Amino acid sequence: MTGRLWRNRDYMLLWGGQVVSTAGSAASAIVYPLLILALTDSPAAAGLAGALRALPYLVFSLPVGALIDRWDRKRVMILCDAGRALTAASIPLAMAFDALTLWQLYAATTIEGSLYVFFNIAEVAALPRVVGQGELPQAAAQNEAGFGAANIVGPSLGTFVYQTLGRAVPFVVDAVSYAVSIASLAAIRSEFRSAPAVVERHLGKEIADGLRWLWNRPLIRYMAFLTGATNLVAAATPLLIIVLARQLGATDVEIGVVFSIAGIGGILGSVVGGGIERRFSFGQVVVAIIWVDAVLVALYAVAPTFWMLAVLCAGTSMTGPIYNVVQFSYRLALIPDALQGRVNSTFRLLAFGLLPVGSALSGWLIERFGAAHAVAVFACWLLILALMTSGNRHVRDAPPIAKVEAR
């Protein structure tokens, strides 16, 4: 099955372009908090930048999902990448004129986050158009492997060029990576949606259709809430790791290496994700992952060195792709193509809605109480989720995907 994916020209173009783009984004993403900490020495200010990047999901997800089902998804993705490239390039341009301010960084991260909402919903809806339904689990696993590799290279590359070549260079790398993505998308031959039916359009009704579809499926509904609740911790983690690693004596380059080691865990998770999806039930995988995450996050606070912190991060990074492969392929196989944008936008509104809360809360807790206390708060949150998920019958009794038909 994997060999067929490698011979699928359009899938490989989509996959390759997004791997390069993800590496560029990872190179600049780690630099944002480092740059803001250098300018302000405030974890709260750095946390606010992360919150602003995630906030557009709360504002745009539902209408964007309905609009994506109307629009040419490929064109949307190309325009979003062009906008993100210009936004990333504006930062080194401001640095060249010694005009960079905290407010520009806030504006840049908000714009990039807004365009990402459009791009991401279009990308998710496009995947079933370039691979068959039976290949979705392997495609999801290969995506996670590629993105995991990008997240190994990106942070180390970003912090290395930030510390050795200049603070502007990671943003140049990010802008170039978006250009590569644009070229790969332009070369894809497949259409990214079915032929649209000739019907009267009503945005409110279309949004309601997506909401209704998701809400009437208790398992998918719970998974959206669970993903959102765990993503709150995921959004808090980068700043926590940066501050904890600094307290343990890590330099900026070594912090990048910590994140790259975490990326190795992501690669391992993506490699085994497809096999785990076939070997174990949906419920077994989901419940086990939440419990493992709760334990590993709690151990962040007692890591004796930043190298041990990196190993723990690799553990939590390994569970993420496994979880994503299982729930993502399950969900995509169930959603009718005509509803992909709307249902996925609804799911992502719930799944990503707490990202700004996690980022802002992380910065506030660190500045007010210290990193160790912040870790304790987030570990307790995961423990509560693990108990809830263990008791949820829809998760425990979810049927194999082959026995479920899309409605």
* Domain coordinates in residue numbering, the chain: 2-193+202-403
Alpha-carbon gap, residue 316 to 236, rounded angstroms: 13
What's the sign of the alpha-carbon dihedral 355, 125, 84, 259?
A: positive
Domain 2-193+202-403 classified CATH 1.20.1250.20?
A: yes
Residues 6+ apart with CB under 8 A from 88: 28, 108, 112, 171, 172, 174, 175, 178
Q: Can you spell out the DSSP letters for 206-254?
A: HHHHHHHHHHT-HHHHHHHHHHHHHHHHHHHHHHHHHHHHHHTT--HHH
Given a contact cutoff of 8 angstroms between Cβ atoms, the answer to whether 69 and 340 are in contact is yes
Given a contact cutoff of 8 angstroms between Cβ atoms, the answer to whether 354 and 232 are in contact is yes
**Burial class of residue 2, CB neighbours in 10 A (0-12, 13-18, 19+):** exposed
pLDDT of residue 400: 66
Please state whether the predicted TM-score (pTM) of the whole model is above 0.85.
no
Mean pLDDT in order along the chain per 10 residues (407 residues):
70 88 90 90 90 84 73 87 95 92 94 89 78 72 79 86 89 94 88 57 69 82 91 92 93 89 83 77 90 96 94 92 80 71 74 87 94 95 96 83 49
pLDDT of residue 1: 44
pLDDT of residue 78: 92
Q: Can you spell out the DSSP letters for 109-143?
A: HHHHHHHHHHHHHHHHHHHHHHS-GGGHHHHHHHH
Given a contact cutoff of 8 angstroms between Cβ atoms, the answer to whether 384 and 295 are in contact is no
Structural Rg of the chain based on CA atoms: 20
Distances from the Cα of 220 to the Cαs of 216, 376, 394, in angstroms? 9, 29, 9
Q: For tokens 């992952």, what's the residue?
A: 289
What's the sign of the alpha-carbon dihedral 74, 144, 347, 81?
A: negative
pLDDT of residue 90: 95
Q: How far is CA 78 from the centre of its chain?
A: 19
pLDDT of residue 163: 86
pLDDT of residue 105: 94
Which amino acid, one-letter code, is at 272?
Answer: V
Tell me the residue ranges of DSSP E strands in 66-118: none
Q: How far is CA 268 from the centre of its chain?
A: 17
What's the sign of the alpha-carbon dihedral 241, 232, 28, 323?
A: positive
